[in-house]
Structures are given as structure tokens and as C-alpha cells.
Structure 1
Amino acid sequence: MVKNALQAQLLKAGLVDNKKAKKLSKQAQHEQRTGQSNEAELKAKIEQDKQGKIAKDQALNMEKQRLLDEKALKASIIQMIGQHKIKDTDGEVIYQFIDANKIKKIYINQQIYNALVSGSLVIAKENDGYAYLPKALAERIDEKMQGFIIINNANAQSNEQTTDEEDPYAAYVIPDDLMW
């Protein structure tokens, strides 16, 4: 009644008895039956892992697509700045502004200086330099992506200063564009 040759050899050698051989064969049958149920669990786990991998791949693809879209948007903004910047701005008038916590000094002509101070022109970052753009274009660029427009004095014009009624110097207005 022994099912495999190894069990027969063990019985002949006297290492196991009939009870032990039957017990081992029943254990093997039990493992074989439970192994089939483990296959179902294993298949479910494999399917779950597949779904997780698919979800992870989709998330990675969405991130890559977002980065590509952002890169394309930056390229289009840089192209817009290059096409619409004002040329021939060299002059002797000094304009100072802050860029990345550093004070920058540029030499421009009086007409560009007046337009910057009044807010009709803005300063935008262009690769390693600066470009002077009309206010309307700067607003469109700012709507698309922040970080390109450095100086926009149009916002400063809207902030009205409140004066104290008892201030003796209220009648004397201090201009923002003093040249020292």
C-alpha cells in the first residue's frame, strides 16, 4: 500500500513503520489539496500586483506628461518674450531693482525708464538677461506661469498711501523715482 518508492525503501530499512508511512502519504495528499487552494490565493495576489503595477505606471506616465507640458509652456513663454521684447534700450539712466535677493543695476534710456516707473513696461527674465515687455503681454505671461516677470510697477501704482490729517508734510509728495 505504499505509494512511492522512497517510502517502500524506508519501510524495508525499518526507519519508518506503516502508521508513519500512511501519515506521510496523507500529509502529502493534504498539501496537494491545500496547494490547489493556495494557487487561487496566489492567482489573486498576482492579479492584485498587476493592478498595482498598472496604477503605478499610469501615475508615472501622468507625471511625465505634466513635466513635458510644463517644459513646452516654458519654451512658449521664452519664445513670446524673445519676440515681443523692446530692443534698443541702451542709455545712460540707471535703473535699480531686486532680482533673487540681489540688487541689479541696468543702464537704459530715459524713455524706457519713464515707462518702467509709470508701469506701462515691465522687466522679465530672459535666459541670462532681462527683457522689457509691454504690460498687457506681461499679464498674459503671468497668467500662464509665475516667475518670469520680475518688476511690475503697475501694481505699485494702485497702492494709495493714506496720509495722516495732522501730518505737516502731507502736502509735500515724495516721488518714487528720485535720482541721487
Structure 2
Amino acid sequence: MVKNALQAQLLKAGLVDNKKAKKLSKQAQHDKRTGQSDEAELKAKIEQDQKVKVEKDQSLNMEKQRVLEEKALKAAILQMIDQHKIKDTDGDNVYQFIDENKIKKVYINQQVYNALVAGSLVIGKKEADDYGFLPKALAERINDKMQGFILVNNSENNEQITDEEDPYAAYVIPDDLMW
């Protein structure tokens, strides 16, 4: 009458009666025939796990794609700096600027020096100690794409608006003093 050893032990302990044991065994047989036991729950869990895995894979792929696009943009900017930098800048004039909290010196000719001070040229950083002198228009395009490559842009300093009530407004303070 009892088909399961566990049911026999439960009956002996008095935890279930014969009617309940028969009902449970019939329910187990019905579930086994119809396949409605734990398989439905298992399938739902597998489906949910697959959805979670797909979402995770998509987010990882998007992150990898973003990193690759950033690398490609950096490479394109470095190529632009290399192609458009002004060559033949060596000279006797010293121009100092700040790069990563360190003062850097470059020796340039007078024409490049004047252009840097006037703001028509800017200093762009290619690598650790490799700098290029770029036209202002190109520097603006580079800054629009990604920040951090343009170190010195004096055109912003030259466009300062003076206060009308300033008693020293008529006196121009040169920023290109040679000591």
C-alpha cells in the first residue's frame, strides 16, 4: 500500500495518515505523468538566468566598444597633432608652461613665440615629453572631441574683459616679459 520508504517512516511516526499518504503518492504520480513537477520551475529559472547572462554580456560588450572607440579617438587626435604641428620651431627664446604640475621649457624661435603669446598658436601634448605647436582652429576641434591634449591656449587669456571702473584698466600688463 505504501510505495515509498519515506512514507512508511512518516506513517510509523504518526506524522501523516493513510489518506494523506495516498493523496501525496497520487499527486506525485500525476505530476510525473504530466511533467509538471519541478521542470516548469527549472525551465523558468534557466530562462531567467539566460536573460540575465545576455544582459550582462551586452553591457560588457558596450563597455568594450566604448573603450575601443576611446582608443581610436585618442589615436586619431595624436595623428592630427603629429600631422598638423608646426615644424622648424627651434630657436633661442625660452617659453615655459605647466604640464602635470611641472614647469616645462621649450626653446622656440621668435615668430612661434609671438604667435603663442598672441594666442594664434597653442601647445598640444602628444606624448610624455613630446609637444607640438598647433593652430588655434585645430586645437578647438581637438578640445571638442576630447579634453586633455591642449596644454597652453593663450587666446583665452587675451579675451579677458576689463572692468570699466578699474583705475588700472588703461595700463596693459604684459605676460611675455623676458628676464
TM class by shorter-chain length?
0.7 to 0.9
Distance 1:116 1:48, change over 3 A: same
Aligned residues of 2:162 and 2:169 also touching (Cα < 8 A): no
CA-CA distance at 1:41 after TM superposition: 1.8
Tell me, yes or no, if the aligned pair for 1:3 and 1:25 is still in contact at 8 Å.
Answer: no
Instruction: Could you tell me which runs of 5 or more consecutive residues in structure 2 were left unpaired when the two chains were aligned.
Output: none
1:1-180 to 2 correspondences below 5 Å: 1=1, 3=3, 26-31=23-28, 33=31, 36-128=36-128, 129-162=130-163, 164=165, 167=167, 169-180=168-179
Q: CA deviation at 1:30?
A: 3.9
Matched residue of 2:75: which SS?
A: helix
Aligned counterparts of 2:110 and 2:122: Cα–Cα separation in 1: 15
CA drift of 1:24 comes to: 5.4
Q: Deviations over 1:97-156 (max 9, x none)?
A: 111122212111111100000111000001121110111111111111111111111111
Q: Distance in 1 between matches of 2:170 and 2:146?
A: 41
Alignment match, 1:13: none
Letter of the structure 2 residue corresponding to residue 78 of structure 1 = L
1:157 CA drift (Å):
1.5
Q: CA deviation at 1:170?
A: 4.3
Q: How far off is 1:29 after superposition? A: 4.5
Q: Distance in 1 between matches of 2:118 and 2:38?
A: 78
Number of residues paired by the alignment? Answer: 171
Percent identity over the alignment is 64
The amino acid that maps onto 1:140 is R
Q: Write the distance in 2 (CA, Å) between the matches of 1:152 and 1:51.
A: 50
1:52-74 per-position Cα deviation (integer Å, ceiling 9, x unaligned)? 11111111111111111111111
**TM-score, scaled to structure 1:** 0.81
* Unmatched tracts of structure 1, length 5 or more: 11-15
SS at match of 1:131: strand
Contact in 2 for aligned 1:116/1:122 (Cα 8 Å): yes
RMSD, matched Cα: 2.8
